[in-house]
Amino acid sequence: MITVKLNKRDFEYDIHSLVRAFYPGVDVPLYLEGETQPEGFEKQLEVFYGEDGIRLIWRDADGAVLAQKERAVDDYEDRTATKNTLKALLYELLSEYTGQKLPWGNLTGIRPTKIPMGLLEQGWKNTEIADYMRKTYYTSNEKTALAISIANRERAILKDIDYQNGYSLYVGIPFCPSICLYCSFGSSPLSVWKNRVDDYLDALCREIEQTAHIWQGKTLDTVYIGGGTPTTLSPEQMQRLLEKLEECFDFSHLKEFTVEAGRPDSITAEKLQVLKKHPVTRISINPQTMNDGTLEVIGRGHTAAQTKEAFAMARQLGFDNINMDLIVGLPGEGYPEVEYTMQQVTALAPDSITVHSLALKRATRLNLFKDKYAPVSFVNSGEIMDMTARYAAQAGQFPYYLYRQKNMAGNFENVGYAREGAAGIYNILIMEEKQSILALGAGASTKIVSGGRIERIENVKDIRSYIERIDEMIARKSKIMG
């Protein structure tokens, strides 16, 4: 345990995230000066905000000073400058003490490309942005280059999107064939809800009908049906949902329509044929790994052979934009296992590949029962991430979007790769927060982007509550957005 003592509560998320980045898996409780210090700590960080600036003291369990740093703050009212000073100081202290350099430096947010994207829009040159990122955030040369190249590619992909007069639509299906070991989404096993899926669709269709008019004067650019696993719906249920969306929304200017087919064991020819009858332009078939032993450990309930069968079936039915999601850092997988997955996946020639670094969140079974999996390694490294990028490039795919999560294996990132013309537009829009998104379904989060500010309207995650309180969900949107 590493405790953090503060003389005032400020920038707690950034402090906690940065300490955890250097000490993954370690508990980092924060407490205010004068409160009782948690027991059983090995190290303590003291953060003092004073008139002359910020002072950090790093102590051992006996109180001996291991390292300390301080730096002046010109104006505490300048929140951005103060935060950058604090994070730079903390990064320097921990980096010097541990001998580590983090690939993303002191960046703790989930959207690193927002920084170069914003500076590009201000007219900065790539070289100027690179220098700024390395000096301000201590990002490595490789990650700096990755962020800037993706920001430039994103700008090119979004050049025809009208942020102000356009919007995107997200529809959530919160059911899965089974719950994966690492999953922290608000999904439920279909076996528990199979008799109430139609009740859920009743509520969802009501929300679709009652909210479609809210942005009627705007252009609908992209639609994304996610989850969960949307293809847990039967062909008839999927047909009902797609018909309701087409009935209520204007698809005439649609640039992209994605359905996350997801689990290969939920995909059938009948379901894919339903999707083909509607303006679906992009689907995902997500193996996560092509190693059957790992699939069994993480509870995926399908084999690598089923992934190949589902992919071949989709191609035969005419789907020409197929994404495949992979996860690096799964239990027991190192470089050879990930390389095998990349070989198998690129041999299928998908149109895009999204490489996720495993993020162990509190709500996952992998975290809740971590003692059971303690003997199993969770490995990620720069070499593995470089290898996945190399295989994607050899397959004619280039990075087009990027995001990070807390507690990622190796403190790396998630990167989307795509061939020319196959990038997921919705993925970029949601990560860069450039456009408002109307989100429907249990656990869905609507984002209203206006004047540089973002307002969120959350639907309840619990499926039963969503069904019972659907009128409340509709009223909440109508009040704020109407």
Closest C-alpha to 438, from 213, 278, 255: 213
The answer, yes or no, to whether residue 407 has pLDDT greater than 90, is no
Predicted confidence band of residue 110 (pLDDT cuts 50, 70, 90): confident
The answer to whether the beta carbons of residues 22 and 102 sit under 8 Å apart is: yes
Question: What is the residue extent of each domain of the chain?
Answer: 2-100, 166-471
Question: HSE-up of 11 (CA within 13 Å, CB side)?
Answer: 24
Question: Across the strands, what pairs with 256?
Answer: 222
Question: Which residues lie below 8 Å from residue 230, measured CB to CB, with a gap of 6+?
Answer: 173, 238, 259, 260, 261, 262
The answer to whether the beta carbons of residues 45 and 58 sit under 8 Å apart is: yes
Closest C-alpha to 387, from 321, 446, 338: 338
At residue 179, the pLDDT reads: 58
In CATH, the number for domain 166-471 is 3.80.30.20
pLDDT, tens digit, 9 for 90 and up, residues 279-306: 999 999 999 999 999 999 888 889 999 9
Q: Residues in the chain, how many?
A: 482
Predicted confidence band of residue 409 (pLDDT cuts 50, 70, 90): low
Closest C-alpha to 296, from 181, 186, 417: 181
Q: C-alpha angle with apex 60: 56 to 66, nearest 5 degrees?
A: 55
CA–CA dist 333, 339 (Å, integer): 10
pLDDT, tens digit, 9 for 90 and up, residues 353-386: 999 988 654 434 444 345 554 444 556 678 999 9
Question: HSE-up of 221 (CA within 13 Å, CB side)?
Answer: 24
The answer to whether the beta carbons of residues 89 and 54 sit under 8 Å apart is: yes
Mean pLDDT, the chain, rounded, equals 91
At residue 301, the pLDDT reads: 83
SS (H, E, C) 303-318: CHHHHHHHHHHHHHCC
Q: What are phi and psi of 66, to 5 degrees?
A: -95, -35
Q: Which residue is it, tokens 């001996």?
A: 64
CA–CA dist 222, 251 (Å, integer): 9
Q: Which residue is it, tokens 């087919």?
A: 261
In CATH, the number for domain 2-100 is 3.40.50.11830
The answer to whether the beta carbons of residues 179 and 189 sit under 8 Å apart is: yes
Instruction: Retrieve residue 292's tokens.
Output: 């059957």
The answer, yes or no, to whether residue 325 has pLDDT greater than 90, is yes
Instruction: Retrieve residue 237's tokens.
Output: 């249920």
Identity of the amino acid at 260:
E
| Mean pLDDT to the nearest integer, 445-460 | 93
Question: Which residues lie below 8 Å from residue 9, measured CB to CB, with a gap of 6+?
Answer: 32
pLDDT, tens digit, 9 for 90 and up, residues 183-218: 555 556 665 667 789 999 999 999 999 999 999 889
Instruction: Retrieve residue 380's tokens.
Output: 């990620």
What residue ranges in 73-218 does DSSP mark as E strands?
166-173, 175-176, 188-189
Got the DSSP string for 364-426? SHHHHTTTTTTTS-----HHHHHHHHHHHHHTT-EEEEEE--TTBGGG--EEEEE-TT---HH
Burial class (CB in 10 A: 0-12, 13-18, 19+), 220: buried
Treating both helix axes as pointing N-terminal to C-terminal, what angle do 141-157 and 126-137 enclose, rounded to 10 degrees?
Answer: 130
Helix (H, G, I), strand (E, B) or coil at 119: helix
CA–CA dist 239, 243 (Å, integer): 6
The answer to whether the beta carbons of residues 18 and 91 sit under 8 Å apart is: yes
Do 2-100 and 166-471 have matching folds? no
| Mean pLDDT to the nearest integer, 321-335 | 92
Predicted confidence band of residue 479 (pLDDT cuts 50, 70, 90): confident
